[in-house]
Amino acid sequence: MSDPLRLGIAGLGTVGVGVLKILRDQAELIEARAGRPLVATAVCARSRDKDRGVDISDLAWEDDPVALAQREDVDVFVELMGGSDGPAKAATEAAIAAGKDVVTANKAMLAVNGQALAEAAETAGHVIRFEAAVAGGIPVVKALTEGLSANRMERVMGVMNGTCNYILTRMQSAGLPYEAVFEEADRLGYLEADPELDVGGIDAGHKLSLLSSIAFGTKVDFEAVELEGIGEVTIEDIQQAADMGYRIKLLGVAQMTGRGLEQRMQPCLVPATSPLGQLEGGMNMVVLEGDAVGQIVMRGAGAGEGPTASAVMADVIDIARGIRVSTFGQPAAGLRAARPASSAVPAPYYLRMALLDRPGALAKVAQALGDNGISIDRMRQYGHTDETAPVLIVTHRTMRSALESALSDMAGTGVVSGKPVVLRIEEV
Amino acid sequence: MSDPLRLGIAGLGTVGVGVLKILRDQAELIEARAGRPLVATAVCARSRDKDRGVDISDLAWEDDPVALAQREDVDVFVELMGGSDGPAKAATEAAIAAGKDVVTANKAMLAVNGQALAEAAETAGHVIRFEAAVAGGIPVVKALTEGLSANRMERVMGVMNGTCNYILTRMQSAGLPYEAVFEEADRLGYLEADPELDVGGIDAGHKLSLLSSIAFGTKVDFEAVELEGIGEVTIEDIQQAADMGYRIKLLGVAQMTGRGLEQRMQPCLVPATSPLGQLEGGMNMVVLEGDAVGQIVMRGAGAGEGPTASAVMADVIDIARGIRVSTFGQPAAGLRAARPASSAVPAPYYLRMALLDRPGALAKVAQALGDNGISIDRMRQYGHTDETAPVLIVTHRTMRSALESALSDMAGTGVVSGKPVVLRIEEV
């Protein structure tokens, strides 16, 4: 039997503890699959004495993750601290410089520094793996990088923040407004310390930018992701969308278009009967579309001790098995810088607006759409409240630019009160 | 740049042609990902001159797949002929003996001869890969073998024959009997030359036995798969099941129980709202349940030129990248022989029977269930037709043995006409 593969684990939160438990509980099974034993030799975390429900007394302790990453008795540096820069990045760089492979669950670090880190690792002949950074337990990084490697990818989509999906489905099922469900999620401990990472779409946007890079052979470009959170989604829109056969999801979409790489993370309508539409609660789902394979859908838990540790350990076992694939599926130095494209693909849109009670108001709105070449799929006007009447419109496919022009024309008519709600309908 | 990886392709049906097209159309993309060029050097098929829509004039031709497998200019033998024994097996053995790696889409060959072939390949230091053999384009072999390698697997399920799923969903949507939809599927070319491979569950059973081996570290044991086809599924049962919130699927289930390894491929009821219940038409779905990751669901096309070629090529690219994993996830020589267990896990059941028009008939049926410790979840009796009344029963969880005993007791009461329909309800 070969020598053990020795892990140094930085960060003993939920995921780190999950990794230690798997190493302890499944040692025999993993050794059979990996072809060699896997052992943790050293750890570091904020507090040494905290009771984590797992014994770390036989592991070497380091206060400094950089020191951990440089230890002689560590072959693989497992980075579970989080944070785009700071200690996580410093320790990862130290690990690469010290000749270690790296496994990380840190989407923020890779979204911001992934290109440089991958180049450094590949120059040094080492690997950075990050299955746990995207969609938790779903082995989607592997599916995209290896399982679909013969495909020219056409589109990658995903619901990749379980907290947002929980909030949106709970709003619908309980008929509650955003604020109430947000508070509920906070009480349940579902939110990050900085909730904007979740509800602002940042966390999910990080993940999307990593999948984009693999799918399209481009440098990670998180800055180019159009980010829109769920804070503006109203219970009215959720209910109106449901009435018309849709669900509202915080959906990430990346696709290569003739104008460049489009990356969006925003609330979208999807058909209620589609797999994405049917995704309820805290689950994650990723949809991968390739020219040969068609559409592959993967569903599972996007967070939590077991699922995330499962993904971390799969990367570690890959390394033990000698599997060495470039971080983003091809050498980082050869990744292209994508030209960012904004809404370059036509789509149907959902519009909700308050129409002033004036003769011909509806006709003026319809005229503004028609003048911009936008045809209407469905329109509903409801009874008046105060001086305005709610109007819902589902358009046929149109370019976002044409829609913006129509919205500007509508504003000029003086019959629309306030700013219309505009949500893209993603065809899935 | 490294030397090209040279492929010898045996079998130029739909899948073989798809592989040649990908090699031609995506050469640049694949070279970037694989780190070296991939080229077909030689092929063999039944007819050399058939028009396949792809030019093979620059490829060496062999009439004999064994000769192809032994060619000096072939590094990877790609077996796309099919058949559990005969030329496919002979050529695969020849390839291994000649020091080649093997990629195959042949579920029958591996289900019957996989253990011996994997042992031979591993002894020789070569790999056999078979992503395309299970669920077409869905990268489920990779997900299970690598992506979930840190999990003790608890259950593996799947709808893995698109033809059967097409027939069952079409029966429901069109309200047509089995025979009519079977003929329709035949006209559309959806059926294998021997349709029993599809509708008898054999093809899907082959696939299940391969997933079982990976999931549970056991020798492939197709003979132990309890096989039941869809030929007995009636439109009545489909409609009654739908009324009670279920769908009937040809579902493969493998799970390790206290009594041994249970492998079943049979029509089952699943909740209509579950991912499996929502799977329509010719799609495939695999559900993987592990102790750490929870439930992972994968959905995609289970057959067809593009999806299957995508899976074949992913295996080839893995080999080009130097990824070498044991055929069944751990060395074949170390796989255990599983003790087969038959329905060792309790489940709810759906029963449909024709009750004779006699006083106390329903009570006697209920009594037979109660006497065997089986409680009733739901029961419906419908209006009489002729001398019998249809009765539907959904039981709570029970062992199959208790149910058989109850059915035997019922037969003894003389109030049941004919043989009751018994379908397992799989909790998903």
> Could you tell me which chain B residue has the CA closest to the CA of A323?
B323
Model ipTM over 0.85? yes
> Could you tell me which chain B residue has the CA closest to the CA of A294?
B307
Q: Which of B104, B114, B130, B307 is nearest to B220 (CA)?
A: B114
Q: Which candidate in A89, A100, A142, A207 is catalytic?
A: A207
Q: CA-CA distances (angstroms) from residue A172 to A192, A271, B196, B259? A: 22, 15, 46, 44
If residue A209 lies in a helix (H) or strand (E), which one and from where to where? helix A202-216
Ramachandran assignment for B245, one of left (phi > 0), alpha (psi -120 to 50 degrees), beta (any other) = left
- Whether B302 shows a pLDDT value over 70: the answer reads yes
Neighbours of A287 (CB within 10 A): 25
Give mean pLDDT, residues A56-70.
97
Looking at residue B131, its pLDDT comes to 98
pLDDT tier, A15 (very low <50, low <70, confident <90, very high otherwise): very high
Min Cα separation B322/chain A (Å): 7
In a domain, A308, yes or no: no
Contacts of B18 in chain A (CB under 8 A): 292
Asked whether residue A23 falls in the same domain as residue A160, the answer is no
Q: Is B207 labeled as catalytic in the residue annotation?
A: yes
- Whether B162 shows a pLDDT value over 60: the answer reads yes
Q: CA-CA distances (angstroms) from residue A160 to A77, A203, A272, B139? A: 25, 8, 18, 20
Maximum pairwise Cα distance, chain A: 85
Q: Tens digit of pLDDT for each residue in A138-186? A: 999 999 999 999 999 999 999 999 999 999 999 999 999 999 999 999 9
pLDDT tier, A382 (very low <50, low <70, confident <90, very high otherwise): confident
CB contact under 8 A, A149 and B293: no
Q: Tens digit of pLDDT for each residue in A245-304? A: 999 999 999 999 999 999 999 999 999 999 999 999 999 999 999 999 999 999 999 999
In a domain, B169, yes or no: yes
Contacts of A325 in chain B (CB under 8 A): 321, 323
Q: Give the domain-ending residue among B100, B133, B166.
A: B133
Domain range enclosing B153: 140-302+333-341
Min Cα separation A393/chain B (Å): 29
Asked whether residue B176 falls in the same domain as residue B263, the answer is yes
- Whether B79 shows a pLDDT value over 70: the answer reads yes
Contacts of B289 in chain A (CB under 8 A): none
Q: Tens digit of pLDDT for each residue in A288-320? A: 999 999 999 999 999 999 999 999 999 999 999
Give mean pLDDT, residues B26-50.
96
Question: Which residue from A131, A298, A304 is facing B296, i.e. has the nearest CB?
Answer: A298
Alpha-carbon dihedral sign for residues A67, A73, A76, A80: negative
- Whether B300 shows a pLDDT value over 80: the answer reads yes
Contact A405, A372 (CB under 8 A): yes
In a domain, B326, yes or no: no
Looking at residue A343, its pLDDT comes to 79
Asked whether residue A128 falls in the same domain as residue A170, the answer is no
Looking at residue B367, its pLDDT comes to 96
CB contact under 8 A, B299 and A301: no
Q: How far is the first Cα of chain B from the last one, in angstroms, to the nearest whole number?
A: 48
CB contact under 8 A, A152 and B26: yes
CATH number of the structural domain spanning residue B237: 3.30.360.10
Residue B181: what are its φ and ψ, rounded to 5°?
-75, -35
Q: Which of B169, B118, B399, B414 is nearest to B277 (CA)?
A: B169
In a domain, B310, yes or no: no
Q: What is the dihedral of CA A181, A183, A188, A193, to 10 degrees?
A: 120
Contacts of B217 in chain A (CB under 8 A): 29, 32
Residue B111: what are its φ and ψ, rounded to 5°?
-65, -35
Burial of residue B266 (number of CB atoms within 10 Å: 0-12, 13-18, 19+): buried
pLDDT tier, B84 (very low <50, low <70, confident <90, very high otherwise): very high
Q: Is B165 or A344 the better-scoring residue by pLDDT?
A: B165
Asked whether residue B248 falls in the same domain as residue B394, the answer is no
Q: Tell me how many residue pairs between chain A and chain B have CB atoms under 8 A apart.
A: 188
- Whether A368 shows a pLDDT value over 60: the answer reads yes
Asked whether residue A172 falls in the same domain as residue A292, the answer is yes
Asked whether residue B89 falls in the same domain as residue B152, the answer is no
Could you tell me how many residues make up chain B? 428
Least confident piece of the model among A4-13, A362-371, B189-198 = B189-198
Q: Which residues pair with A356 in a beta bridge?
A: A388
In a domain, A318, yes or no: no
pLDDT tier, A386 (very low <50, low <70, confident <90, very high otherwise): confident
CATH number of the structural domain spanning residue B416: 3.30.70.260
Q: Give the domain-ending residue among B133, B153, B178.
A: B133
pLDDT tier, B347 (very low <50, low <70, confident <90, very high otherwise): very high
Q: Which of B119, B192, B123, B117 is nearest to B162 (CA)?
A: B192
What average pLDDT does the structure give for chain A?
96
Q: CA-CA distances (angstroms) from residue B172 to A185, B241, B243, B245, B285? A: 40, 10, 11, 13, 19
Asked whether residue B149 falls in the same domain as residue B283, the answer is yes
Looking at residue B383, its pLDDT comes to 81
Asked whether residue B284 falls in the same domain as residue B408, the answer is no
Half-sphere exposure for A171 (CA within 13 Å, toward CB): 28
Question: Which residue from B296, B304, B306 is facing A137, i.e. has the nearest CB?
Answer: B296
Give A64's contacts (C-beta < 8 A, 6+ positions apart). Answer: A44
Q: Tens digit of pLDDT for each residue in B303-317? A: 999 999 999 999 999
pLDDT tier, B344 (very low <50, low <70, confident <90, very high otherwise): confident
pLDDT tier, B192 (very low <50, low <70, confident <90, very high otherwise): confident
Asked whether residue A123 falls in the same domain as residue A68, the answer is yes
Residue A14: what are its φ and ψ, rounded to 5°?
-50, -50
CATH number of the structural domain spanning residue B67: 3.40.50.720
Looking at residue A1, its pLDDT comes to 55
Looking at residue B193, its pLDDT comes to 86
Q: Which candidate in B89, B100, B142, B207 is catalytic?
A: B207
Neighbours of B235 (CB within 10 A): 16
In a domain, B129, yes or no: yes
> Could you tell me which chain A residue has the CA closest to the CA of B296?
A300
Q: Give the domain-ending residue among B66, B101, B133.
A: B133
User: What is the count of structural domains for chain B?
Assistant: 3
- Determine the Cα–Cα distance for residues B333 and B210; give it in Å rounded to an integer: 16
Looking at residue A387, its pLDDT comes to 84
- Determine the Cα–Cα distance for residues B320 and B76; give it in Å rounded to an integer: 9
- Whether A359 shows a pLDDT value over 80: the answer reads yes
Interface test with A, best of B15, B144, B149 (most A CBs within 10 A): B149
Looking at residue B1, its pLDDT comes to 55
In a domain, A84, yes or no: yes
Give mean pLDDT, residues B127-138.
98
DSSP assigned state of A174 = H
pLDDT tier, A193 (very low <50, low <70, confident <90, very high otherwise): confident
In a domain, A311, yes or no: no
Asked whether residue A124 falls in the same domain as residue A145, the answer is no
What average pLDDT does the structure give for chain B?
96
Contacts of A217 in chain B (CB under 8 A): 29, 32
Residue A419 labelled as part of a binding site: no
Q: Would you list which residues of B are annotated within the binding site for NADPH?
A: 107
Asked whether residue B47 falls in the same domain as residue B108, the answer is yes
DSSP assigned state of B145 = I
The two tokens of residue B311 are 């899976």
Ramachandran assignment for A136, one of left (phi > 0), alpha (psi -120 to 50 degrees), beta (any other) = left
Looking at residue A33, its pLDDT comes to 98
The two tokens of residue A266 are 């925003």
Contact A285, A247 (CB under 8 A): no
Q: Tens digit of pLDDT for each residue in B241-252? A: 999 999 999 999
Q: Tens digit of pLDDT for each residue in B204-216? A: 999 999 999 999 9
- Determine the Cα–Cα distance for residues A307 and A102; give it in Å rounded to an integer: 19
Asked whether residue B161 falls in the same domain as residue B254, the answer is yes
The two tokens of residue B202 are 């054999």
